[in-house]
Amino acid sequence: MQFSIWLPFLGAIIGASIPVLLGALFYSSQKRADRREQLHDEKRHAYRNFLKCLQQLGMASLLKARTPEKELSQEITEEALTALFVLQLYAPDEIADSAGKLVSQAIDLTLEDRVFAKDRRTLTKAMRADLSR
């Protein structure tokens, strides 16, 4: 008999909690989808920027090869390296490694630069792992 008194209240509580739970699930899934889309946009921007800088670097490198007295522009080199750093944060390992090889070939890195690049690559892998958590 005591249970029958609480039955309408229990039904009301259950009835009110179902839409709240469904709303929370929908909100959570939408936030995940929005975050994935944001990361995809950031990755697309990083790829586009890297390709633009790589094109500039390639043209400057070609010009340097044809006229040895001409030096690679410091600005172009810095832009390409910055774009590479950002790309390595978002790109999978095989893409980031290939991009690093292309840039290092174009700017003819010294041994010290290559050691620094390897350390930087290790750091960007750790940062990417942290972002995916």
pLDDT of 25 over the 60 cut: yes
Q: Is residue 86 part of a domain?
A: yes
Across 102-116, average pLDDT? 72
Number of structural domains in the chain: 1
Across 38-62, average pLDDT? 85
Task: State the residue range of the domain holding 101.
Answer: 37-131
What is the pLDDT of the chain when averaged over all its residues?
Answer: 82
Q: Is residue 77 part of a domain?
A: yes
Alpha-carbon Rg for the chain in angstroms: 26
**């959570």: which residue's tokens?**
28
d(C-alpha 1, C-alpha 16), whole Å: 24
Q: 75-113: b or e for each residue (b if 16 or more CB lie within 10 Å)?
A: ebbebbbebbbbbbbbbeeeebeebbebbbebbebeeee
Lowest mean pLDDT segment, chosen from 54-58, 79-83, 109-113: 109-113
Q: Is residue 6 part of a domain?
A: no
pLDDT reported for residue 1: 54
**Most confident of the ranges 3-7, 17-21, 73-77:** 17-21
